[in-house]
Each structure stands twice: as C-alpha cells, then as structure tokens.
Amino acid sequence: MDTSIVSALGAGSGIDTVALVKQLVEIERAPQQQRLDSKKETLDAQISAYGTLKSSLSAFQEILKPLSSNDTFSARSVSFPETDVVTPNSLGTNAQVGSYQLEVIDVAQAQSLAINTTYANKDSAIGVSGSLTISLGTWTYDNTDPNNPLPQSFAENETQLAFDVEVTSDDSLQDIADKINADKSDVQASVLLVDGNYQLMISAPSGKDNALQITADDPSLDLFNFNATNYANVSETQQGQDAHLKLNGLNVYRDTNEVDDVMQGLSFSINKASPGEKFTFSISDDKNTAETAIRNFIDGYNSLYTTMKSLTGVSTDAETNVASRGELASDGTAKNLLARIRSMISEAVPGVSEFNALTNVGIRTKLDGTLEIDTEDFNAAIKDNFDQVAAIFAPQTSSTSSGVDVVIGSYASKTVAGTYSGSVTTAPSKGSVVSDAVFAAFDTTAPAGDYTFAVTVDGTTSEALTLSGSFTTVEEFRAELQSLINNDASISAGKAFVDVVIDNNQIQIQSRQYGSTSKVAIDSAGTEFTSATGLSSASVSTIGVDAAGTINGAAAFGSGEVLLPQIDSDPYGLNLTVSEGMSGDFSFTFSRGFAGELSLLIDSFLSTTGVIKSREDSINSQLGSIVDDQESLDRKMTIKSDRLTQQYLAMEQIIASFNATADSLTGLTDRLPFTYKK
C-alpha cells in the first residue's frame, strides 16, 4: 500500500476544529458559569422570599388593626324588643351600659306655610320684587280660639342662620321656590297644583324651635309675609312640634324623629306616637368583639412566625429526614426582624404600668416559638380586668388634670410612649368687647334714631347692621344682638361667630375662638345705638390670649387653647387642649398599646427607607453585578473562541500546505534510479 509522508506524520486526518473549539471553550466556561448561575439562583430566591415576608407582614398588620382601636374594647350590644314605635339604627362603642324604659308621647313635625295667593301658571312672572328674609325660631301663639291659634311673638333660634331671597319682577312662582331651595338651609319650598291653580308651600325643618318667620321689605311681597304683625295672607297648615319622649320617666324633647343624642352612642328613629306604651331595652358590654380580635391576633402571629421561621431556619422533613435551608437562612437582616418581633412579644408595653404584658392576659409562648392562650387566665382577665386588657392592646391617654385634655395628633407615629410632666402658666381666653353701661329697657321706635352699628370679629368686619325692636329684658336684647351679628353675610362667610353673654347685667360680645387672633371690637355705632346699649367704638375691647406653659420641662407652643410639645421631643405628636381658667402643674401619659407598637415596628420594616427595602436594594445590586459578570464572561469566552479558531485555522493552513507537498512527493521514489523496492 502506498503511503505519503504527510499521512505518515498524522496530518490531514480531518479533525472537526469547530466542535473542538466549542468543547474547549465550554470546558473553561463551565465552572465560572456555574458559580454565576448558583449565585443568581440564590439571590432570586432571596428576593422572592422577601416578597413573601413583606406580604406576610402586611397581612399580619391588618389583623392588628382591630386591636389598635379602642372601639374594639368599647363594643356594645343592645337587646331591643319588637315594636313599630321606635326603630334602633346604630349602636356606638360609647353607648352607656344599662337598662332603659322608653315611651313616645309625640313625634316631631315641621311647620308648613301655604301662600294663599294662587296662580294659573307656575312658570309665568308674578310681577313682584324685593327681598324676603326667612328666619327660624319659636312662635308663641294666641290660643284664645283653640281651633285657630294665631302667631303672637317670635324668638329667633340662635343656632340657625337667617337668609335672604332676592325676588325680581320677572320671577315666577317656581323661580321663587327654586331660590328658596338654593339656600343651604333645610327650608324647602314646593309648588303644588290645588284645584287647578298653583300654590307655594314652604316647609321648615322639624321641631318647634325651627318654625319660620318671613318678612318682606317691599309691599308687593306682602303675600309672603308671616310675622307677628302681618300673617293674614299665609296659612299655617301645620305647626312645628318637637318629639316628646319619656326615658326612664324623664321628659325628653328633640326637634327631629332621628334621635342620636338622647342616649350616648344609640341612634334610633321615632315612627309614631304611642302614649302609655312603655317598652324596656338594655345595653351591655360586648366583650366577644375584643376576644375575637385577640384570638385572631394569636392565629395571625403564629402564621407569620411559621412563615418567617421557614424562610430563615433549617427544617427537616419528617418522612425523609432530609434537612432543607430556608431561602433567608443565611440572611442576617431577616433573622433580626424575627428576633425583634419575638422580643416585643415578651416585653412590657411602654407607657402602661403593672398590668402591661401579654402574659397578664394569659398569652404564652410555646417551645416551638408560637403563641397559645391559657384559657383559665385569659377568661379571668377578660372578666375581671377588661379595662386593663384594653390598655395593653389599644392606645391610651390620660391626664391628672380635668383642665387638660390629651389628644393623639397626626404625628403620633413619632411620639415616645411614657409619662410626662406639664405646667400651664397662662390659660387661654377669647377676645371680647363689653358695654359701658348696664342694660336698661329701650325701644328703637320710640323715639326713632340711628341704631346702626358694625362689628369686627377675629379680623372680619360686618356690614352695617341695624338694631330694631322693643327690648324689655336683657335676655331679649342679648338674643337679638347675637342673631343680628351671626346672620351677617360677612361674619357668616368668615365663620367669625360670636356669643353674646350677660355679665353683671352688662352685655359682652365674645368671639368663639381662643387665642391672640381672637378679638371683638365695635367698628362703628350710631348715636342712639350707643346710648341705648352702651356699646361704641370706645368700649373696652380685650384681645384673646394663647395658652402658654411647659411640657416635660421645655417651653410649649401655644395656639389658642392648644399646647404643642417641641418638635422632635419625646411627647411630640400629642395635642394638649387647655380649658379656660386652668393653671398649674399636671402630668399626662401616652401609650400606643401593644398592637400600635408592633404595627409601628412593622411599618419601619416595610417603609421605603426600612431594612427590607435596604436589603432588597443590596440583593438587586448584586443581581446587577451578576449581569455585568455574565457579560464579562461572555466576552472572555468569545475572545477565547476566536483565538482558538485562529490557531486551528493556522493549523489547517499548515496541514493544507503539507497535503500539497504530499501530492508532489507522491511516486517520487518510483522515479528515482537505483531505488530499492520491496
């Protein structure tokens, strides 16, 4: 067999250099790629585990919410008999516990006025103009004829604001009704079709103190007048009346049939009067709500603990006895979260003394770390120490002084639970102006004069006001003056209302606001107004004073009747409301409660600046580094592949050269003379 020199040297054997290069590159890549893949898999698992952890913490926080509310521990239940006289609507957590007997003597009803003048078309202009003043208050009637009681005198309701309706000559009956209804009061007007003609009906809110007085400033509007001197053109189809109840034998009157303030926390509707029919109902504590919330907390905590333990610990399969590590078993941050939660479970609640830990409620920690309830201790705590159980779980504030009320403010997440000292050095006061003389009866029409005046309240100046009427008692004058000022458009718009009070038979106009911005002054006054009332621009005006004092030894910020602790101090986030006349030292306590403290801790975990977010950012940064490392490895392997390819290409060229030489040498020995042949 003929054999070439190149073949004899082993060249030109047809090696698959492409496959060879790929195999060599993969052999070098494999360990590095495995390390990257393993690290990425671990980091991806940790990100997923933190997602599970956050979800579990959020779900547990929702379970804590009922325990963070005092309403849970103030729940009430009512035992109400079946009756069509009264319908219970709602029962608040502040309802007074006890047994009650109720009797409905009268239902509340609204006064209704029918304008006697009728019209064939409700949408045609009725040709009248001017202003109608509608006031709400109480009518006294002349009952000489019981079948036809006549309005005699009117006392304006100080809690209701009068309003004006401007009527133009092109207004129809429907237009006037629409203008009345456009006001924000509860007065309602409707146009009724009666015997083929249209008639205006005006209805007041229910209650005898919400009856209507209508006064027109133009003779063309006389058909609408309903006042003590002019009411002939209007029919009172129904008088205003209060609901009359007897509660445990006590007479109670309300201006509405929707009652929510007779018994604290209980609202009910009066359906009909039923004198002589008495029914009994009772309100009692509903401790089941709190018990359920506590048991839900135990279940929720155990679920959270099991989840966190599986993520951060090592577990052994009971069947296979194979140990497996949680995705966060080597993560110190996650382990620390669990440790902090477990620590809070065993600690005393900040701001609560003595009965202040879960163990006092019968909640115990088992060997496996979960919680359980000792039934005997739990039932005893609920039965005998329910208020202390509430103090353990829910927020509490208290003050040693009845003149200081402590309120949890909007920044209470920064407040440190504990007991603090305080001192009121200046009590809050309201701005006021006092008349220069004691009251004496007067009549603005005898003789007539300038009874105009204007008043400035808390920086808002009224329009020119005119006092009118006959005042025989100081109370009559007080009520009229207060109504006149508070019904002024500017005063009402600025919510700068006043209370007119009697002090040693002198009139004092007092702002309803406390503090240094509180001020009342007579801006201007007519001669007769001043001589009759003793009020003038020279009357003594006193500016209100802000509360002042210290909280925990540091100067507090006073605004009106409120004292605020210094920013970023431990009690910061609490608002202290100081009563007028209060002075001296006091102390106050704040507790966020166990549920509040634990929820705040979880908030710190889950916040955008919390430890979980920080850890996730770190993991994501490492994942970003893996992407960079992967790109670097890919580039390195590409270069390696290219280099090997070039090397083998050079080898192939050499082999090709050898093959060419082999071809030229083929048969050479046959042509040489004297060559030995076998």
| pLDDT of 517 strictly over 70 | yes
The average confidence (pLDDT) of the chain is 90
**pLDDT computed for residue 91 by the predictor:** 87
Phi, psi of 92 (to 5 degrees): -85, 165
Percent of the chain with pLDDT strictly greater than 90: 68
**pLDDT computed for residue 4 by the predictor:** 44
Kindly report the CATH number that applies to the domain delimited by 430-542.
2.60.40
Question: What's this model's pTM, rounded to 2 decimal places?
Answer: 0.71
8 Å CB contact between 189 and 112: no
| pLDDT of 96 strictly over 60 | yes
Q: How sure is the predictor about 10, in pLDDT bands with cuts at 50, 70 and 90?
A: very low
Other beta carbons less than 10 A from residue 637's beta carbon? 16
**pLDDT computed for residue 3 by the predictor:** 47
State how far the Cα of 175 lies from the Cα of 167, in Å rounded to an integer.
9
Q: How sure is the predictor about 8, in pLDDT bands with cuts at 50, 70 and 90?
A: very low
The secondary structure element, H or E, covering residue 100 is strand 98-106
**pLDDT computed for residue 246 by the predictor:** 94
At a CB cut-off of 8 Å and minimum separation 6, what does 31 contact? none
Q: How sure is the predictor about 433, in pLDDT bands with cuts at 50, 70 and 90?
A: very high
State how far the Cα of 314 lies from the Cα of 324, in Å rounded to an integer.
6
Distances (CA, A) of 268 to 80, 85, 209, 285: 11, 10, 21, 19
Q: For the residues 293-305, what does the mean pLDDT come to?
A: 96
Least confident of 95-109, 252-266, 422-436, 647-661: 647-661
Distances (CA, A) of 541 to 433, 467, 533, 581, 668: 4, 21, 15, 19, 137
Start-end of CATH 2.60.40 domains in the chain: 430-542
State how far the Cα of 245 lies from the Cα of 421, in Å rounded to an integer.
46
**pLDDT computed for residue 1 by the predictor:** 45
| pLDDT of 590 strictly over 90 | yes
State how far the Cα of 492 lies from the Cα of 102, in Å rounded to an integer.
39
| Residue of higher predicted confidence among 353 and 462 | 462
**pLDDT computed for residue 645 by the predictor:** 81
Q: How sure is the predictor about 80, in pLDDT bands with cuts at 50, 70 and 90?
A: confident
| pLDDT of 9 strictly over 60 | no
**pLDDT computed for residue 652 by the predictor:** 75
8 Å CB contact between 7 and 662: yes
> CA angle 277-283-287, nearest 5°?
160
Q: Concatenated DSSP letters for 457-497?
A: ETTEE---EE--SEESSHHHHHHHHHHHHHTSHHHHHTT--
Cis peptide before 447 (omega within 30 of 0): yes
Q: What is the pLDDT of residues 146-204, one digit of tens each?
A: 888 999 999 988 888 889 999 999 999 999 999 999 988 899 999 999 999 999 999 99
At a CB cut-off of 8 Å and minimum separation 6, what does 311 contact? 49, 52, 53, 326, 327, 328, 329, 334
Tell me 669's DSSP state: H
> CA angle 595-601-605, nearest 5°?
140
Q: How far apart are the first and last CA of the chain?
A: 11
8 Å CB contact between 586 and 550: no
Q: For the residues 450-459, what does the mean pLDDT come to?
A: 96
Q: What is the pLDDT of residues 18-66, one digit of tens each?
A: 888 888 888 888 888 888 878 888 888 889 999 999 999 999 999 999 9
**pLDDT computed for residue 5 by the predictor:** 41
